[in-house]
Amino acid sequence: MSANIEIAFKDLLNCLQALKMYGGVHPMFTRSLDSAYTAFKDVLSMRQEVVIGIIGEELAFEKEILFDLGKFLRPSILYLKERNIERLAFFFGLSKEELGIFINFISRPKEDFKGDPQEMLRLTGVEHINIGKLKVDDRMQEGDRGAANIDLYVSSVDKVSQALSGVLNSEKIDHLALRFSLNNIMENLSTQRNELLKLATLKRYDVQTYTHMLNVSIFSMYFASRLGFDKNDVLNIGVAAMFHDIGKLSISRKILQKPGKLTEQEFGSVKSHTILGAEIMLQYVDSLGILPVVVSFEHHLKYDASGYPRLPNLRKQHIASSIVSICDVYDALSQRRSYKQDYAPDLVYNIMNSTDGVSFDPQLLDKFFKFVGLWPVGSVVALNDASIALVRDENESDIRRPKVEVVSPVEKRRSIDLAQDNSLSIERFLNPWKEGKEFLHLA
């Protein structure tokens, strides 16, 4: 029974996301509503009432905590809690029209939910759905949950791995759930930019399989939003960025992880990943659009079109490909790989600026580092007075002098804006694998 509940609730939230992205008259929303209604109708054919509770940041049905579903849908859970919704009850007799009204109701801004949500819902004419806060008796103790909360970044890595694995296996992907996850990251970038960029920085040293793809997607969405792209375009760029290297995942790991120099044949195999990736993404144009195809094909083309694949007629990269290319190289240079050490942020900056308009659009590259800084948020750095500090925020006016928090020695602990204190400066980056490791937990 719980499996059917999970399907119904997941379809409900996918329908909510379809409404937010496409509107109430779009075929995508109509299909999502049909799917959600069918799922609830099946469940309610076996019982008169279904009650789903939100306990902490997990979903509960009867006495069972739906940990897997909670992990999968954590951003949606937080979305409902922001609207004072911790308990959802669906009753036999629910109509598709009522379900559609309900989804429109919960899509409203959280500022609209200052009163009793059930009373507000009743005024819409919905009779077979009840919502509200959990009663004290309904709550479980924190210690009874048996699992730690899963943060937005980690749940998104899971979503990325599922989507990429599905594409590699030529399976259908839950593109609405994928876009929902990236959309939540995008929305959080406006209020929790430093936290998400810090995670992207620190997770370069994580062994998770798909963190690079998610990092490139996060950086690309942040970069595009700062450049002034509208919300829908930012999300489309984020999706394209996530699949930019899909072709490379089909290439032998022996080649990709080879510590020595590649042979000409091996390098040719690596370069083929752009064409292979575009061919793979062509199968998903109906659900993901054409941009992932374009970005997969072009992200190594280079600004002056001297990269690969070589084209008979020179043409400029699509702007999305240029954005993803910068974010891809930035994250790749910063990561530790089998064939190279991770590079310090100032070295990454120097390498990327050394091509003088060959690899990257100079104006875009300049803006990228203006937005993300030379020293990324979360970096552990040594100052010229021998103290150790963590980078907390950037200074766009001077990317070499960010805002930091001194953490060692303890008696010197304080926050400093290096742009306002000319007596202090960053001397060097402390590698989190080595001398910076003991301070990493403070980031």
Question: What CATH number has the domain bearing residue 160?
Answer: 1.10.3210.10
Q: What does the angle CA 372 – CA 374 – CA 375 come to, to the nearest 5 degrees? A: 90
Last residue of a domain, one of 110, 145, 180: 145
Is the C-alpha dihedral spanning 185, 191, 194, 198 positive or negative?
Answer: negative
Whose CA is closest to 443, among 201, 220, 239, 259?
Answer: 201
Q: How many structural domains is the chain composed of?
A: 3
How confident is the model at residue 146, as a pLDDT? 26
* Neighbouring residues of 300: CB distance < 8 A, sequence distance ≥ 6: 271, 274, 307, 308, 309, 325
Say if residues 433 and 205 touch (Cβ distance below 8 Å).
Answer: yes
Last residue of a domain, one of 117, 145, 173: 145
Same domain, 361 and 274: yes
Report the Cα–Cα distance between both ends of the chain, in Å, rounded: 42
Domain around 325: 153-371
* Neighbouring residues of 424: CB distance < 8 A, sequence distance ≥ 6: 383, 384, 385, 416, 418
pLDDT tens for the chain, 443 residues long, are 567 888 888 899 889 989 988 888 899 999 999 999 999 999 898 888 888 887 666 677 764 556 566 566 778 888 888 888 888 889 999 999 999 999 999 999 888 888 888 888 988 999 999 998 765 334 333 333 222 233 466 566 666 777 777 787 777 777 766 776 787 777 777 656 666 666 565 555 444 446 788 889 989 999 999 999 988 899 899 999 999 988 887 775 556 566 677 777 776 777 888 999 999 999 989 888 999 999 999 999 999 999 999 887 767 899 999 999 999 999 888 876 554 567 899 999 999 999 878 999 999 999 999 999 999 888 899 999 999 999 999 999 999 999 999 999 989 899 999 999 999 999 999 987 778 878 766 65
Same domain, 315 and 352: yes
How confident is the model at residue 334, as a pLDDT? 84
Last residue of a domain, one of 145, 170, 194: 145
64-65, strands of its sheet edge to edge = 64-65, 58-61, 49-55, 87-91, 129-132
Same domain, 42 and 110: yes
Same domain, 185 and 163: yes
How confident is the model at residue 324, as a pLDDT? 97
Q: Is 163 helix (H, G, I), strand (E, B) or coil?
A: helix
Q: Helix count (H) and strand count (E) of the chain?
A: 19, 10
Same domain, 112 and 159: no
How confident is the model at residue 149, as a pLDDT? 30
Same domain, 125 and 185: no
Same domain, 37 and 17: yes
How confident is the model at residue 337, as a pLDDT? 57
Same domain, 237 and 362: yes
How confident is the model at residue 292, as a pLDDT? 95
Same domain, 209 and 284: yes
pTM: 0.64
Same domain, 397 and 329: no
Same domain, 114 and 240: no
Same domain, 197 and 107: no
Q: What is the DSSP letter of 312?
A: S
